Amino acid sequence: MSSVEKRQTALPPTDEEGFLTRGDVWSEEVAELLAKILMPKDLTEDHWKVINYMRKYYLEFESVPPVRKLARDTGISLRELKALFPEGLTRGPCRIAGIPRHIIRPSFLYP
């Protein structure tokens, strides 16, 4: 057994759609665990750019950013966003960023 043990983070409770039930338990480790469940590939730098932007925007405005603003501010085109998160922005980065389901507007879709 190694003298340095890697701390294991357990997945906090989620609702039936996979959204965290408590936003205060979010961390990058929790985001990684959620991503492993939701996405077939590991998170890239561009994934993290979107996730961190959305998390910061949510904490500041208690809302999700408009998709075009997200694309413009991150420098990631709409086409690239669709490739990064083919299931959509609600199913991907919103869940991984710990944004509660009730915050997400029904119109938060790709234009």
The 8-class DSSP code of residue 99 comes to -
pLDDT at 102: 79
Q: Which CATH class is domain 45-101?
A: mainly alpha
What CA–CA distance (Å, rounded) separates 53 from 93? 10
On the question of pLDDT at 1 being above 50, the answer is no
pLDDT in tens, 36-93: 988 888 999 999 999 999 999 999 999 999 999 999 999 999 999 999 998 888 778 9
Mean pLDDT of 93-99: 93
Number of other residues whose CB lies within 10 A of the CB of residue 2:
5
Label residue 2 by pLDDT band (50, 70, 90). very low
Structure tokens at 55: 């998390």
Helix (H) or strand (E) holding 33: helix 28-38
